[in-house]
A and B are shown apart, each in its own frame.
Chain A
Amino acid sequence: MSKRKILITLAMVCALSTAAAAEGPKAGGVVNAVIQPEPPSLMVGLVQNGPTQMVAGNIYEGLLRYSPKLDPLPGLAESWTVSEDGKIYTFKLVKGATWHDGKPFTSTDVLFSIEFLKQTHARARGNLVQLDKVEAPDESTVVFTLKQPFGPFIGIFEVGSLPMIPKHLYEGTDFKTNPANNTPVGTGPFMFKEWQKGSFIRLVKNPNYHVKGKPNIDEIYWHVIPDAAARSVAYETGKVDVLPGGSVENFDVPRLSKLKNTCVTGAGWEFFSPHSWLWLNNRAGPTANKKFRQALMFAIDRNMAKDVVWNGLGKVATGPSGSAIKYYTSAVPKYDYDPAKAKALLKEAGYKGEKVRMLPLPYGETWQRWAEMVRQNLQDVGINVEMIATDVPGWNQKVSEWDYDIAFTYLYQYGDPALGVGRNYVSSQIAKGSPFNNVEGYSNPEIDKLFADGAVAFPDAAREEIYTKAQKILVEDVPVAWMLELQFPTITRCSVKNLVTTGIGVNDGFRDAWIEK
């Protein structure tokens, strides 16, 4: 190579590396985000509502994080192995991780967290039902031994599902009244700094974070703005940079997305896979008839709801599992919009215009409009619908007490059918008083067996076969009317980079985020 060629090549390499450096993460900056409603507490081991997880997911950490495809990624565990029989999970913890107060994070904290969460965390308790014992052979190793293989086990370690709790602050105390609840101490990329109730929560960068060079951002302010229109205005006037999914009404999204320097993404919900459906009371009234329920599926124009109410975000649901959930299959009976078929099925069902009570989900204007659209669809095929207005506690009570015919809802699915799908269809989950179980009262011994077997079957291929069969049966029986796989758009300034990179999106996204200046 001649000298000249070498010089040109060197110049090009330099230019390319400068360009790459210019595009790389930059340190510094403050991000203003919206949080709604104001979380009751940031101690995610005690409170697991959405806003708490969103803020606290940047303060606390789990052993693992998950990619958008729900593959496990290192968190507080740097590596892990699973025994051949699927019963022993060994985690190696990251070296040098410390709590925000400077104490080291060790395997004893993991053991303590498991015991803590069994007492305080309803979902963790269910996830750990197959756990036989957990041991810490040394400071940086934790071994979980299961009673029998539990397929979803590797998927239960994200920060909202199994957060690590500092043993040195909680051991031997009353967890619920521990003063540390007001000044949360985690191992995460951001530390709690200040909370002015009703106004804002302030997190600051953890300078001793165990991942070198992260986080990039110096501070995060979470603003509490209770009115949806006011949240839109706050973004529009430049006072906030991040509107996490669900912060603004859907009809505001197209307008906001046209603003300068604005990016919108529906990603970051893969782990939760919010799945919406109509509870159909299988016990009494017209909805107890399978043909009537099938007629509903044909009567509702779900594509139109997706395009009009949800601005094209999300997907039409094909059955009980969202498409991001393990073992999802689309090879199930199809229910395309077909009012004529719906009318024929209603006739077969012997429906004579009895009144059907429908509860919209009282979560704001988007859900109200969706309910009105569905009512119109149902009236078009001759169903006599009465809309019942409630607020959130009223809705919870009516659904828990089975006092409805049709009720809108959406629930998270947590990546695996054994975690977030089965609970809504197996007969052991029929129990008054909770709006999250088998509220519709569907009971099918075959389904019960399939979900029981599927949770503990090993290896993956065996589970796939079981869940495929379960999905087909459920879609044929229509115990509930599946509507859409929801995507709640996250709206940000395009200058806020890398915010949504994992399956839980903004909930643990600020670790990698940076601001382009």
Chain B
Amino acid sequence: MISFIAQRIAKAIVVLLALVVLNFFLIRMAPGDPALVMAGEAGAGDQVFLAQLREKFGLDQPLPVQLFLYVKGILSFDLGFSFRQQMPVSTLILQRLPATLLLTGTAFAISLAFGILFGALAARFAGTWADTAITVAALIFYATPLFWVALMAILLFSVTMDWLPSFGYETVGANYTGLAHVLDVAAHLILPATTIGLFFMATYARMTRASMLEVARLDFIKTARAKGLSDTVIQRRHVLRNALLPVVTLAGLQAGTLVGGAVLTETVFAWPGIGRLMYEALLQRDYNLLLGVFVVCSAMVLAFNLITDLVYRSVDPRIEFAS
């Protein structure tokens, strides 16, 4: 198992470096550069000013040199310096990572728990009104754009009912501590986490339902019934457990993308996370920051893929690690 993990990590590093090179060139293919953006924001910028900025950011050097320096930095865990924010990229990402992990982690937990629950219920009562209701709701949540769900949630729960805060991570200036602080953050978390969670919940519910119905038709389930096991035991121990493999695959894939995947939600709810950092870096052509976020997100996807492979083994003991 250790050699399996070592091999996977080695491969992951190669993939990561390839992604860095690809992203490096992709970002620079977009029109405009950070010097123009910063001069634009200042409302003034003569040639001297622009040249100064480009020299300061190293953008006046040939592209291969810029790439070499960047990759060299990455190999020594240096993600570079953010042009616009004037701070090390790693500091910026680390500042924002906890908020994003809290948001996406909560959303992930909600979606996985309720997605599997509703999917299992729909499969258990397939063809009944409960199945139809769950399926229709899942389809609606799956098809509705996240930003629209977010805005409607704000309109309903913040503006009309005044139950929940509409933006931010905590009540600024309240200086809550202890339990009061936890509850305050939780109140701010509900709307954004639910907004993201609804979409993924719909996906897991659909996947669980389809997978369970498929497994339920297999011979070993008939055997279980013939043995006289109760329906609940069959569904829980035999159908659900065997049906979870595709759900785990999907969850693994999505868990990796959750770190950078909350761009819209974080923007609408002013949640101070990495998704917003990436969005702002993109608009400002803050190359190093954008690449830094990409590197972290890619690393997370690769890490979660590895974790998924490891989880497979515990879900399905028939799977073995091949060196």
Interface residues of A (CB under 8 A from B): 30, 32, 37-38, 40-41, 47-50, 122-123, 125-126, 176, 181, 196-200, 202, 219, 221, 223-227, 229-230, 233-234, 236-237, 239, 390-398, 400, 411-412, 431, 433-437
Query: A400: which B residues are within 8 A, CB to CB?
Result: 36
User: A234 and B172: CB pair below 8 A?
Assistant: no
A38, A123, A393: the one within 8 Å of B44 (CB) = A123
Q: Closest Cβ of chain A: how far from B265's Cβ, in Å? A: 10
A11 to B170, CA, bound (A): 51
Interchain nearest-CB distance for A182 vs B (Å): 8
Q: Which of B281-317 contact A (CB under 8 A)?
A: 283-285
Determine the chain A residues whose CB is within 8 A of the CB of B279 once the complex forms: 226
List chain A residues, Cβ under 8 A from B170.
Answer: 199
Closest approach, in angstroms, between the C-beta of A141 and any C-beta of chain B?
30
Give the docked Cα–Cα distance between A230 and B273 (Å).
16
In the bound assembly, the distance between CA atoms of A247 and B36 in angstroms comes to 23
Closest to B272 in A: A198
Extra contacts, 6 of them, besides A393-B34, A394-B31 (Cβ < 8 A), are A122-B44, A122-B49, A198-B95, A233-B167, A239-B165, A431-B47
CB-defined contacts of A433 to chain B, threshold 8 Å: 47, 50
B269 is an interface residue with CB less than 8 A from chain A: yes
Tell me whether A397 and B32 are in contact (CB under 8 A): yes
Known: A198-B277, A394-B30. A41 touches B172 (CB 8 A): no
Q: Is B105 an interface residue (CB 8 A)?
A: no
Interchain Cβ contacts under 8 Å between A and B, 11 examples: A49-B41, A123-B44, A199-B270, A224-B272, A225-B168, A226-B280, A230-B154, A230-B269, A391-B32, A393-B32, A395-B32
Which A residues lie within 8 Å of B155 (CB)?
A: 233
**Using Cβ atoms and an 8 Å threshold, which residues of chain A touch B154?**
229-230, 233
Question: Do A122 and B48 touch (CB < 8 A)?
Answer: yes
Residue from B172, B267, B273 within 8 A of A227 (CB atoms): B267
- Selected from B30, B31, B37, B46, the residue in CB contact (under 8 A) with A126 is B46
Tell me how far the C-beta of B306 lies from the nearest C-beta in chain A, rounded to whole angstroms: 30
Structural contact, B173 and A221, CB atoms closer than 8 A:
yes
B159 within 8 A of A: yes
* A contact residues around B40 at 8 Å (CB): 392, 396, 435
B37 touches A199 (CB 8 A): no
Give Cα A196 to B169, complex, Å.
11
Pick the contact of B267: A32, A226, A391 (CB < 8 A): A226
Given contacts A48-B42, A226-B280, A393-B31, A197 and B37 within 8 Å (CB-CB) = no
- Central interface residue in A197, A199, A226, by most chain B CB within 10 Å: A226
Chain A residues whose C-beta falls within 8 Å of the C-beta of B159 in the assembled complex: 233, 236-237
Judged by a CB distance under 8 angstroms, whether B186 is at the interface is no
- The 8 residue pairs across chains A and B that have the minimum distance between CB atoms: A393-B32, A198-B272, A49-B41, A122-B49, A394-B31, A396-B36, A397-B32, A48-B42
Q: How far does the alpha carbon of A227 sit from the alpha carbon of B166 in the complex, in Å?
A: 11
- In whole Å, how far is A408's beta carbon from the nearest beta carbon of chain B? 14
Stretch of B84-92, B208-216, B233-241 contacting A (4+ beta carbons < 8 Å):
B84-92
Residues of B within 8 A of A434 (CB): 39, 45-47, 50
What residues on A are CB-neighbors of B30 within 8 Å? 393-394
Tell me if A197 and B92 are in contact (CB < 8 A): yes
- Once A30-B173, A199-B169, A436-B39 are accepted as A-B contacts, the answer to whether A230 and B268 lie under 8 Å apart by CB is yes
Q: Give chain B residues whose Cβ lies under 8 Å from the Cβ of A49.
A: 38, 41-43
Judging by beta carbons under 8 Å apart, are A221 and B32 in contact? no
Range class of the B interface residue count: 35 or more
Question: How far is it, in angstroms, between the C-alpha of A510 and the C-alpha of B222 when the chains are bound?
Answer: 76
Q: Are B37 and A221 in contact (CB under 8 A)?
A: no
Q: Which of B31, B41, B86, B158 contacts A233 (CB 8 A)?
A: B158
B184 at the interface (CB under 8 A from A): no
Chain B nearest CB from A420 CB (Å) reads 9
Return chain B residues, CB-CB under 8 Å to A236. Answer: 159
**B270 adjacent to A230 (CB under 8 Å):** yes
> In the complex, A368→B44 CA distance in Å?
23
Q: A196-B272, A436-B43 are contacts. A397–B267 as well, Cβ < 8 Å?
A: no
CB <8 Å contact, A41 and B173: no
Docked pose: A397 CA to B28 CA in angstroms: 13
Q: Which residues of chain B come closer than 8 Å to A199, judged between CB atoms?
A: 168-170, 172, 270, 272
Closest chain A residue to B92, Cβ basis: A197
In the bound complex, residues from chain A placing their C-beta under 8 Å from that of B166 are 230, 233-234, 237, 239
| A122 partner residues in chain B, CB cutoff 8 A | 39, 42, 44-46, 48-49
B303 smallest CB distance to A (angstroms): 24
- A47 CB contacts on chain B under 8 angstroms: 42
Closest to A437 in B: B46
In whole angstroms, what is the CA distance A106 to B245 when docked? 73
Cα A400 to Cα B159 in complex, Å, equals: 43
Closest to B151 in A: A229
Task: Kindly list chain B residues whose C-beta atoms are within 8 Å of the C-beta of A32.
Answer: 172-173
Given the known interface contacts A198-B96, A225-B167, the answer about A396 and B158 at a Cβ–Cβ threshold of 8 Å is no
Q: Which residue of chain A is the closest to B154 with respect to CB atoms?
A: A233
A38-B280, A436-B43 as given contacts; A198 in contact with B172, CB under 8 Å: no
The CA-CA distance from A238 to B270 in the complex, in Å, is 16
Q: Which of A197, A229, A390, A435 contacts B95 (CB 8 A)?
A: A197
**Once the chains are docked, how many angstroms separate the CA of A32 from the CA of B173?**
10
- CB pair B173–A219 under 8 Å, yes or no, is yes
Report B-chain residues with C-beta under 8 Å of the C-beta of A435: 36, 39-40, 45
Q: Does B78 contact A (CB under 8 A)?
A: no
A157 to chain B, nearest CB (A): 17
Contacting pair B96 A40 (CB below 8 A): no
Q: Contact check, A50 vs B43: say whether CB atoms are below 8 A apart.
A: yes
Contacts of B270 in A (CB 8 A): 199, 223-227, 230
Contact, CB under 8 Å: B44 / A234: no
- Check if B173 sits within 8 Å of A393, measured CB to CB: no
Nearest B residue to A395, CB-CB: B32
A224 to B167, CA, bound (A): 10
Chain A residues positioned under 8 Å from B44 (CB to CB): 48, 122-123, 126, 436
Q: How far is the CA of A221 from the CA of B118 in the complex (A)?
A: 43
* B276 contacts partner chain A, Cβ-Cβ < 8 Å: yes
* B283 lies within 8 A of A391 (CB): yes
In B90-107, the 8 Å CB interface with A consists of 92, 95-96, 99
* B45 touching A200, Cβ below 8 Å: no
Chain A residues in 8 Å Cβ range of B173: 30, 32, 202, 219, 221
* B162 on interface, CB distance cutoff 8 Å: yes
Q: Which of A197, A227, A392 contacts B32 (CB 8 A)?
A: A392
User: Which residues on A sit within 8 Å (CB–CB) of B39?
Assistant: 122, 396, 434-436
B168 near A223 with CB under 8 A, answer yes
A229 to B39, CA, bound (A): 27
Task: Kindly list chain B residues whose C-beta atoms are within 8 Å of the C-beta of A198.
Answer: 95-96, 99, 272-273, 276-277
Task: Take A122-B42, A237-B158 as given contacts and tell me if A37 and B280 are in contact as well, using a CB distance cutoff of 8 Å.
Answer: yes
Interfacial chain B residues near A229, Cβ < 8 Å: 151, 154, 268
Kindly provide the distance from the CB of A466 to the nearest chain B CB, expressed in whole angstroms: 24
A239 and B167 contact, CB distance less than 8 A: yes
Q: Note all chain A residues with C-beta closer than 8 A to B32.
A: 391-397
B225 at the interface (CB under 8 A from A): no
Please measure, in the bound complex, the distance between the C-alpha atom of A176 and the C-alpha atom of B55, giving whole angstroms.
13
Verify B86–A40 contact, CB threshold 8 A: yes
Instruction: Contact check, A398 vs B43: say whether CB atoms are below 8 A apart.
Output: no
- C-alpha spacing A176/B272, complex, angstroms: 26
Instruction: Tell me the bound Cα distance from A37 to B286 in angstroms.
Output: 14
CA–CA, A197 and B34, complex, Å = 20
